[in-house]
């Protein structure tokens, strides 16, 4: 019985030691007020009007599909995805 208890105690101590090495995620840059991210793409929440005013007319657009309606605008270096008229994501072209 003592051997079983010692095994459980060791297992618990190893479990706590594993959690002690956890990393913290730095979210300080996630709420940027800038109109573009570090790569120069539009950020989430911008309107279509502000994207067009900042980056110009897109090279091509795709009509909205689905519910909620998702549309996309394509620029030379990136693609912007909108839900209704707000940016939900922008990705760099490779």
Report d(CA 36, CA 78) in Å as an integer: 12
Taking all residues of the chain, what is their mean pLDDT, rounded to a whole number?
A: 81
Q: What is the pTM of this model?
A: 0.61
Convert the pLDDT of each residue in 18-35 to its tens digit: 555 666 666 555 444 455
Distances (CA, A) of 94 to 61, 75, 77, 79, 88: 18, 12, 8, 11, 20
pLDDT at 10: 79
pLDDT digits (tens, 9 = 90+) for 59-84: 999 999 999 999 999 999 999 999 99
């Amino acid at each position: 019985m003592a051997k079983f208890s010692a095994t459980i105690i060791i297992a618990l101590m190893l479990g706590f030691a594993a959690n002690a090495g956890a990393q913290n995620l730095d979210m300080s840059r996630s709420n940027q007020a800038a109109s573009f991210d570090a790569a120069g793409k539009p950020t989430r929440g911008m309107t279509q009007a502000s994207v067009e005013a900042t980056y110009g007319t897109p090279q091509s657009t795709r009509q909205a599909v689905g519910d909620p309606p998702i549309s996309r605008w394509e620029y030379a270096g990136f693609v912007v995805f909108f839900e209704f008229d707000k940016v939900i994501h922008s990705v760099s072209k490779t």
